[in-house]
Chain A
Amino acid sequence: MAQTKQYETVIGLEVHVELATRTKIFCGCSTAFGGEPNTHTCPVCTGMPGSLPVLNKQVLKYAVAVGLATGCEITRNCKFDRKNYFYPDNPQNYQISQLYLPICRNGKVEIETEDGKKFIGIHEIHMEEDAGKLIHDEWDDCSLVDYNRSGVPLIEIVSEPDMRSSQEVIAYLEKLRMIIQYLGASDCKLQEGSMRADVNLSVREAGTERFGTRTEMKNLNSFKAISRAIAGEAERQIDLLESGEKVIQETRRWDDNKGESYAMRSKEDAQDYRYFPDPDLVPVVVDEAFLEEIRAQQPEFREEKMIRYKQEFELPDYDIDIITASKRMADLFEATVALGSHPKKVSNWLMGETLRLLKEKNMDPEDIRFSPENLSRLIALTDAKAVNNSVAKEVFEVMFERDVDPEAYVEEKGLKTVNDEGALRKTVEEIIAANPQSVADYRSGKQKAMGFLVGQTMKAMKGKADPGMVNQLLKELL
C-alpha cells in the first residue's frame, strides 16, 4: 500500500536485567541456574505462610552502581511495593517491586547513531523479584511449577520514549549491556533471559508533537527479534492509521518464527495491581557513606579502557574497539598480558580464533571457558616455535572447548614440531625418491611442484614440521 504521509516511530524500552548475586533478593537461596525443580527454594521464595522477606544488600549495591553509571539520581529513602496479581508462578500472588519510590531516577546514556551522538533518557530503575517457571504437561493435562527462579533479583530499567529507530534501540541496549557487564552486575544474556526487553512503540506523523497510541511488545529474545518486531509493529500501526483505523493500547506478544505479533491484553482489561508499600520491608536508606563506597568500587568503563589500551599496549584502534566491546574479552586480554604475553599476539588470538569460534558455536564472550594462563602458554609455545600455526589453532580449539593445558596436550598428543634436522632430512629424501615426476616437474621450472612436495612432507610428518625448514631442505636436496 502506498503511504500518503511520512511517519516517525517513537520507542521506549523496559529492560529487565537479572542481577549476578549469589543468593536471591529476599532470602538466602541460591540463584544458580539449572538445579532440579524446587531445590533452590525455602519458605520465603515459595510463599509459605509466616515467612518474611529480608533485602539482600548486594541487590541494592548493584542497582545503585547501575544507577550511578547511567547518571541517575539515587533515591535516598526508597521503598518496596507489592504488585498484586494472581498467577501460579508468583507464590505469594503479589510481586515485591517498586512503584512509588524507585531506587534510581532521571538518568541518561549516550549512544552513537548515524547522525552522531545522542542521549537516551532513563526514567527510572527499580528493583524487583523474578517469578517461578510454569511447565505445562500437555500429556497429563496439568501444569507444574518450579520456584527455583522465584525471588531471583531483577532490576527494571525504564527508558524515556527517546528512540526513533531499531538501530537506536539496539545501540541503547548494547550500551546498557556493556555498562552492566562492566559493573559485573549481570551477564546480560538475551537468549537465556538474564536480559529481557519489552518495546513500547507508537507512530506519529512526522513533525507532530503529540505521541500516538502505544503498544507494548513482549517476548523478544534476541537483538534480531527486537529489530524485526520494531519493523513489524511500526508497519502494522502505520497500516492501521493509513486505513483510518485506530491503534489500540494493548500488550502484544511477538512470535519471531512467524514474524508477527498478536494481542495479549488490552488496556480495558488491564489488571488493577493495587500497589501499596510492602509493610514487611522497612524503607531502604541510602546514605552518603554507602554511595561513596559504591562510587569507589565503580570499575574502569569502556571509554577509559580504550584510551589506556592505546597508550599502554599500543594496540590498533580496530583491535581496541573489538576487545573492549566485551568486559569478558577485555578482562581476558588484560589477564593474559599480565602473564607476560605480547599484547598484539593476545589480541590476535582473541579477535581471530576466539571470535570465529564464538560465532560458529553461537556463544557469548561470557561463555568463554579457557583461562588466561592457558592462552599465555599457547602463545609461548608458538613463540618458541615448539608448534607451528596450524597445530596451534588445532590446540586452541581444544582449549576453547575444555580449557586444556596446551603444553601437556601437545606433549600427550605428540604434536611438538620436529626440529631434528636429521629426521626431517631423512623424510625429505624419502619424499623425493617416491615422487620422481614432481621432482622432474620442479626441475623443469614448475614452481607448483614444490608446493606438492612440501605438502607431502608435512603429511608424512603428521603436521609437526616447521614448514620453513621443510622448504629449505627440499631446495637444498633438489
Chain B
Amino acid sequence: MSAANGMAGSTAGREADGILNMTALELGAAIRNKEVTAQQAAEAVLSQIRSSEERYHCYVTVDEEGALMQARQIQEKIDRGELTHPLAGVPVAIKDNMCTEGLLTTCSSKILYNFVPTFSSEAVLNLQRAGAVILGKTNMDEFAMGSTTETSAFGVTRNPWNPEYVPGGSSGGSAAAVASRECFYALGSDTGGSIRQPASFCGVVGLKPTYGRVSRYGLVAYGSSLDQIGPLCKDVADCAAVMEVIASYDPKDSTSVKRQDNDFTTALVEDVKGMRIGIPGDYFGEGLDPEVKKAVLEAAGVLKERGAVVEEFDLSLVEYAIPAYYTIAAAEASSNLERFDGIKYGYRTQEYEGLHNMYKKSRSEGFGAEVKRRIMLGSFVLSSGYYDAYYLKALRVKALIRKAFDEAFAKYDVILGPVAPTTAPRLGESLSDPIKMYLGDIYTIAVNLAGLPGLSMPCGRDAKGLPIGLQLIGDCFEEKKLIRMAYTYEKARGPFSREEAR
C-alpha cells in the first residue's frame, strides 16, 4: 500500500479510506448531513488518484485544480441550500469522448491530442446541474474502437483486480477508475458493449440505456445509430441515481426521446416475484467459458429463489449480430471520423505538399491501426457497388434482430445471460487477433443493434480471482425492470468490491 501523502495509518488516512469506500449516494448523503465536505471528498479521491494512477492509468487528464475549485463552489451552494441533489458534491470521472468545455477531450487519439471543446456534452451538463465535481477524463480505446482500452494512443489501462489483465473496453478507464476508487462513479459510452463489458471485467455495475434515453449531444460519435452514454457505478442504487440525472430530452439531439419515466430510483425495490426471465440458449453455447456459464446460471437460480419465473428459449440470429454490427458501426464511423482532417483542430502533420497530401499524412499519422482498419472497412461497405450487399443487408439483419427481441419480450420481462464469453484477457492477448476480439462482443452487440437497455453487474469471480459479469437485457425503455431485478440480485449476492475481496 502506498503511503499517500504520508497519511496511511493516521486518522486522516482512515477517514479518507472511509470516504473512498462510500458509494456515490452514501457520499452524497454524508455531504448533505455535513459529515464530509465536497472539498474533503475531492481531496480524498485526488489523493487516491495520485497514489494508484501510476499502476492503473485510468485517466488521460486529471483536472486537480478544477476539481477542487468546483468542490468549493458546490459546497457553498449546498451550504446556501441551493443544491440539494443526492449526488451534489460527489466526484465523477468522464470518458474522454464526451466534450467538456475548456477541458482536453482526446478520444484517446493522437489526432485530437490538443483538442479543447468550446462546449460540454448534454450528459455532462446534466451532471453539473446536479452538483457533480468533474475529476477528469478517462482513458478509452481510441474513438471507442476496441474491447480492451489497449488501442488508446496514450497507453493502456490496467485492471485493478490484477494489473496483468485488461480492464475491458472501450470504457476501460471509467470502469477501472470506479473499481480502483479513483472516482465514485463514471460516465461511459456503449456502442457494442463498451460500458457493459468493462463493467463486467472490473466488477462494477454498468448500464447501457435505451437508444434515445440520454442525449448524445457532445459525445464524439463512433456509430451514431448505436452510441449511448451510460453510468458505471459501485452498485445498482448509484446506477439508478445517475441515470435519473443524465436521462433527459434534448432538442439538440434529433434521436433524443421525451419520456415521463426517468424516475429510476423508484425501481430500487427488492422484489422480483412473478417477473419472467428468459435465458437464451444461444448465449450459453460454444465459446462460453464454463466458469462464466456456472456463475451466470447460479445468478439466475438466485432470482428464481426470490420468486422470478425462469425459462430457457432460443433468441436466434445471434451469429449474425457481429457481422451486421461491424458493417453498420464501421460505415458510420468512416463518415463520422472524416471531420478529423488536420484543418480545423487537432493534429496536423509537420510537412506536406498540398491539400490532399496534408489530409493523407495527418490522418495516417493521427489515427491508430484499429481506427484505420474500421475506417477502411466502413468506406468499403459504403462504396458504390457494395452498398446493397453489405450496408443495406446489415440494416435488414438489424431489423430482424429487433423483431427477434420483440418476440422474446412478448414472453419475458428480462433476458438474462453473460456479458462476455470470458473474464478479462491478459494484456496484449487481444490485439494480435482482432477477429477474436470482435467475437468477444457477441453477447452485447445485439442489444445495441436493437436499441435496447442492458445492465452488467458482477456475479462472482473465476479461479484467477477476476470478476464475472451478469447481463440483464430489457425491452425499450424498460430500464426500471433491469434496475429492480439487479437490485434484488445485488441484495441476495451481498457486497462485491476489491476491498471486500481482500
Which A residues contact B (CB, under 8 angstroms)? 43, 46-55, 82, 84, 86, 88, 91-94, 145, 272, 274-276, 279-282
How close is A95's CB to chain B, nearest CB, in angstroms?
A: 11
Residue of A49, A52, A279, A282 ringed by the most chain B CB atoms within 10 A: A49
Chain B contact residue count (CB 8 A cutoff): 44
The complex places the Cα of A86 from the Cα of B344 at a distance, in Å, of 13
Give the residue name and chain of the A residue nearest to B341 (CB): A93
Q: Are B119 and A84 in touch, CB under 8 angstroms? A: no
Whether a CB of chain A sits under 8 angstroms from the CB of B221 is: yes
The complex places the Cα of A46 from the Cα of B344 at a distance, in Å, of 9
Chain B residues positioned under 8 Å from A52 (CB to CB): 216-217, 252-254
Interface SS, A side: loop
How close is B335's CB to chain A, nearest CB, in angstroms?
A: 5
Q: Are A50 and B254 in touch, CB under 8 angstroms? A: no
How close is B253's CB to chain A, nearest CB, in angstroms?
A: 5
Whether a CB of chain A sits under 8 angstroms from the CB of B485 is: no
How close is B455's CB to chain A, nearest CB, in angstroms?
A: 24
Q: Are B339 and A92 in touch, CB under 8 angstroms? A: yes
Chain B residues positioned under 8 Å from A46 (CB to CB): 344
The complex places the Cα of A52 from the Cα of B217 at a distance, in Å, of 6
Which of these, A53, A145, A272, contacts B384 with CB under 8 Å?
Answer: A272
Given contacts A43-B118, A86-B338, 7 further A-B contacts (CB under 8 A): A49-B117, A54-B254, A275-B387, A276-B331, A279-B224, A280-B224, A282-B254
Interface SS, B side: loop
The complex places the Cα of A88 from the Cα of B342 at a distance, in Å, of 10
Which of these, A93, A276, A282, contacts B255 with CB under 8 Å?
Answer: A282
For chains A and B in complex, what number of residue pairs have CB atoms within 8 angstroms? Answer: 94
Chain A residues positioned under 8 Å from B99 (CB to CB): 49-50
The complex places the Cα of A346 from the Cα of B466 at a distance, in Å, of 89
Which of these, B117, B341, B384, contacts A48 with CB under 8 Å?
Answer: B117
Would you list the 9 A-B pairs with minimal beta carbon distance, nearest first? A93-B338, A279-B225, A274-B382, A279-B224, A50-B218, A50-B99, A49-B220, A47-B339, A92-B339
Chain B residues positioned under 8 Å from A145 (CB to CB): 343
A50-B117, A282-B255 given; A276·B98 CB < 8 A: no
Give the residue name and chain of the B residue nearest to A270 (CB): B384
Whether a CB of chain A sits under 8 angstroms from the CB of B332 is: yes
How close is A2's CB to chain B, nearest CB, in angstroms?
A: 43
Chain A residues positioned under 8 Å from B221 (CB to CB): 49-50, 280
Query: B111-126 vs A: 1/0 string, CB under 8 Å?
Result: 0100101110100000
Chain B residues positioned under 8 Å from A276 (CB to CB): 331-332, 335, 382, 387, 391
How close is B436's CB to chain A, nearest CB, in angstroms?
A: 28
Q: Are B391 and A280 in touch, CB under 8 angstroms? A: no
Give the residue name and chain of the A residue nearest to B219 (CB): A50
Query: B309-346 vs A: 1/0 string, CB under 8 Å?
Result: 00000000000000000000001101100111101110
Chain A residues positioned under 8 Å from B340 (CB to CB): 49
Query: B201-241 vs A: 1/0 string, CB under 8 Å?
Result: 00000000000000011111101110000000000000000
The complex places the Cα of A434 from the Cα of B196 at a distance, in Å, of 108
A49-B339, A274-B379 given; A91·B254 CB < 8 A: no
26 contacts between A and B (CB under 8 A): A49-B105, A49-B107, A49-B115, A50-B98, A50-B99, A50-B105, A50-B218, A51-B217, A52-B217, A52-B252, A53-B254, A82-B335, A86-B356, A88-B343, A92-B339, A93-B338, A93-B339, A274-B334, A274-B335, A274-B387, A275-B387, A276-B387, A279-B332, A280-B224, A280-B255, A281-B254
Whether a CB of chain A sits under 8 angstroms from the CB of B355 is: yes
Whether a CB of chain A sits under 8 angstroms from the CB of B357 is: no
The complex places the Cα of A50 from the Cα of B99 at a distance, in Å, of 7
Chain B residues positioned under 8 Å from A279 (CB to CB): 223-225, 255, 332
Give the residue name and chain of the A residue nearest to B383 (CB): A272
Query: B249-261 vs A: 1/0 string, CB under 8 Å?
Result: 0011111000000
Q: Are B339 and A54 in touch, CB under 8 angstroms? A: no
Which of these, B220, B355, B384, contacts A50 with CB under 8 Å?
Answer: B220
Whether a CB of chain A sits under 8 angstroms from the CB of B477 is: no
Whether a CB of chain A sits under 8 angstroms from the CB of B359 is: yes
Which of these, B220, B331, B359, contacts A86 with CB under 8 Å?
Answer: B359
Chain A residues positioned under 8 Å from B223 (CB to CB): 279
Residue of B218, B339, B355 ringed by the most chain A CB atoms within 10 A: B339
The complex places the Cα of A280 from the Cα of B121 at a distance, in Å, of 16
Which of these, A43, A94, A280, A281, contacts B119 with CB under 8 Å?
Answer: A43
The complex places the Cα of A43 from the Cα of B120 at a distance, in Å, of 11
The complex places the Cα of A88 from the Cα of B344 at a distance, in Å, of 9
The complex places the Cα of A280 from the Cα of B356 at a distance, in Å, of 28
The complex places the Cα of A272 from the Cα of B332 at a distance, in Å, of 16
The complex places the Cα of A53 from the Cα of B336 at a distance, in Å, of 13
Chain B residues positioned under 8 Å from A280 (CB to CB): 221, 224, 254-255
Give the residue name and chain of the A residue nearest to B119 (CB): A43
How close is B345's CB to chain A, nearest CB, in angstroms?
A: 8
How close is A325's CB to chain B, nearest CB, in angstroms?
A: 41
Chain B residues positioned under 8 Å from A47 (CB to CB): 339, 344
How close is A27's CB to chain B, nearest CB, in angstroms?
A: 9
The complex places the Cα of A43 from the Cα of B220 at a distance, in Å, of 12
How close is A323's CB to chain B, nearest CB, in angstroms?
A: 44
The complex places the Cα of A345 from the Cα of B251 at a distance, in Å, of 52
Chain A residues positioned under 8 Å from B339 (CB to CB): 47, 49, 91-93
Chain B residues positioned under 8 Å from A92 (CB to CB): 338-339
